[in-house]
Chain A
Amino acid sequence: MSRQIIAEFPFVERFDELSAEFPGAGLDWLDTMRRTSLDRFNRLALPSTRVEAWKYTNLRELAKTPFEMAEASSGSASLDLSEQAAMGSESAHRLVFANGIYNASLSRLETLPDGVIITNLEDALTTHGSLVRPHLERLSSLEEDALLALNTAFMMNGYVVIVEEGIEVGTPIELLFLSDPSSPTSIHPRNLIVAGAESNAKLTEWHVGSGDSDYWSNPVTEVVVGPEAAVSHRKVQRESASAFHLAQTRVSLAGNATYTGFLMSAGARLSRCEVEARLEGDGANCELDGIYLARDHQHSDITTRIAHTEPGGNSRQVFKGVLDGHSHGVFQGQVSVSPDAQRTDGHQLNKTLLLSEGAEIDTKPELEICADDVKCSHGATAGQLDELELFYLRSRGLDAEEARQVLIRAFIAEVVESVEEGDFQDQLNTIIDDWLSNGLSTS
């Protein structure tokens, strides 16, 4: 078996034709970058399970699907979706992307304070090109990653949030990615968050699909957190039951910067949410928490890489999953501590509840510590609902289903409560209730 999966995606073969319509088409530096990335993708191809980082997540089904690219006209079809999904709050700034295409009429930008840019990538390339370019170029040249290269070659729209030094964006920012294409479509959003020194911003991404829509969402998000700045970045993945969701978030943190990431992964046929955080300044803080829920034949992969390269950094991760049916969960958590990163404090916890015989979890914590004065820990458990706890609850009158739901909620409560009380926590509880009410295995 090869380390590559060769796919012949129609949209990749139509690059020349499609590229005229891409955001920023005609900008030399960008055209070159796209072309270079396309070559790189064609050279690398999709990783097979022979590649260690992809050992547990197989892209073969993805590679067989004849994906096209979204047409500009398909960006209008998603009004129903945004209503159904009941996402977000009334008062937030909101950017909406329908099938990857920016939808101005569904978006809503309240008056922005000076020093805050919230816009879509296409507009940002025109009006703030010099701010955006170095970030796109840096990430794109960084490494040999097929999916990142593909995203760069085909990057469509996406959001750009830039907050200048010392500015606090009080109002939350919501980014909605709604998808309901009628034929297999690939979507490659490219997002950028830049928080200047001592600034503060809160963002929530929703990735939502309708019904059985067949699509592949391949978003790449770059997050740059400046000295003493704080970014809260939440994401909800509820893609359609036929969708593929392969997301990468690349975070870099300066001295005393704080990144608080939260992930709820409940949708898609196959998903991988990859978060890489590099703590590149003294005393940087990174907190990542998340929940994954999967049933039937869903595949849900959470992959995190935390790199401590400077002294005094803190990282905390708590991920909990509930797997039912024949679903397959993957948790890969890598924490690396460079020789210079003394006094690093890094902790990671992964717990999975398996509700059925057929459910499966592969969990792989990985610590690479090259400094001597550090506190690092990791833990991983997988288990079933406790028979005695179920008996106790039922002996008090709760039926079997209710008793299971109580214990499942209790299992993930810690992660839900890591989010501050308010709209988002309520929405998480609604998602969990929805998931539970869809019926659990009785075994």
Chain B
Amino acid sequence: MLEIKNLHARVDDRDVLNGIDLSISAGEVHAIMGPNGSGKSTLAYVLAGRDGYEVTEGSIHYQGNDLLDLAIEERAREGIFLAFQYPVEIPGVAGTTFLRTAVNSLRKHRGEKEFDAMQFVKYVREKQSELNITDDMLRRPVNVGFSGGEKKRNEILQMALLEPKFAVLDETDSGLDIDALKTVADGVNTLRDPNRSMLVITHYQRLLDYIVPDFVHVLAHGRIVKSGGKELALELEKEGYGALTGTQAA
């Protein structure tokens, strides 16, 4: 589904990714772990297509096509989804309006009929209760005044509504207490599907107790320095990143 080869990327004239190779098949959940500054979030932004994240070498193929040729929204419409580490607040835009516009732009792309307001409310209602998202949260401007947990739940709601084929979860556990973490993880697990792949980026092993990955990769200095099964996460938890990366863990 996703094939990353020798990926180099630069942000603000600084080389952050220095040759990443990663292959993810349909239905697999991969975790990327690594200390701060190792390039985890940069990889997430490069996949989503954010401006200013310049690929200087290498390639990313998604479903056989060159992903780097696609604009941000084209990637989204082709099924790429990024759950943001810091979900963006958008004052003045009501949550429901935002979600409906997003869902409809994907439906339009797929040649499906766009939802009207009533149909959309029904569609959302099925998904929002599992994630403990109230109607009030949806009426409010996107993420404005939301707690850390609410923001992350809102990201997973978007993921549930947009039904991506490939989801990147960027430090979805950061800033969450254990209850909020469970809610979010349950939401993600519900979305696991033989046709949907995920890349779970995290600093801590804790998240992986709840979202159990098929593979774990360790990122350091913009390179994958070790790959393994889910047991690698536990090993890291015990040993720290230092042994693998040659530096002290952050």
Residues of A within 8 A of B (CB): 387-389, 391-400, 402-403, 406-407, 409-411, 413-414
Contacts and interface: CB of A to CB of B under 8 A. Distances in A.
B90 to A, nearest CB: 5
Interface in B181-221: none
B162 A396 contact: yes
Given A402-B101, A406-B101, A397 B90 contact: no
Nearest to B45: A391
B90 A410 contact: yes
Given A397-B106, A397-B109, A409-B92, A391 B72 contact: yes
Interface in B84-116: 84, 87-88, 90-93, 98, 101-102, 105-106, 109
B82 interface: yes
Contact of A397 (B50, B77, B141): B77
Contacts of A397: 73, 76-77, 102, 105-106, 109, 162
A394 B76 contact: yes
Contact of A392 (B49, B71, B75, B90): B90
Contacts of A389: 88, 90
B76 A396 contact: yes
Query: By CB atoms of chain B within 10 A, which of A398, A400, A406 has the most?
Result: A398
B73 A394 contact: yes
Interface string B27-61: 00000000000000000000011110000000000
Contacts of B102: 393, 396-398
Chain A interface, DSSP helix/strand/loop, else mixed: helix
A392 B75 CA distance: 13
Nearest to A406: B93
Contacts of A414: 92
Contacts of B81: 395
Interface string B135-178: 00000010000000000000000100010000000000000000
15 contacts: A389-B90, A391-B48, A392-B84, A393-B102, A396-B105, A396-B158, A397-B162, A398-B73, A402-B101, A406-B93, A406-B98, A407-B93, A410-B91, A410-B92, A414-B92
Given A400-B73, A402-B101, A395 B48 contact: yes
Given A395-B82, A402-B105, A411 B92 contact: yes
B51 A398 contact: no
A392 B88 contact: yes
A284 to B, nearest CB: 31
A437 to B, nearest CB: 16
A387 B88 contact: no
Query: By CB atoms of chain B within 10 A, which of A387, A389, A395, A413 has the most?
Result: A395
A410 B76 CA distance: 22
Contact of B72 (A388, A395, A407, A410): A395
B50 A391 contact: yes
What are the 10 A-B residue pairs with the smallest beta carbon separation, nearest first?
A: A410-B92, A396-B102, A392-B88, A394-B72, A397-B105, A397-B76, A394-B73, A410-B93, A413-B92, A397-B106
A396 B98 CA distance: 9
B92 to A, nearest CB: 3
A398 B84 CA distance: 16
A387 B51 CA distance: 9
B90 A393 contact: yes
A115 B106 CA distance: 59
A407 B98 CA distance: 11
Nearest to B101: A398
A112 B37 CA distance: 74
A388 B84 CA distance: 11
Contacts of B109: 397
A389 B86 CA distance: 11
A409 B93 CA distance: 8
B38 to A, nearest CB: 22
B158 A388 contact: no
A387 B53 CA distance: 13
A397 B74 CA distance: 7
A400 B74 CA distance: 10
B88 A388 contact: yes
A395 B81 CA distance: 7
Nearest to A401: B73
Contact of A407 (B49, B71, B82, B90): B90
Given A387-B51, A400-B71, A395 B90 contact: no
A398 B105 contact: yes
Given A389-B88, A394-B73, A399 B105 contact: yes
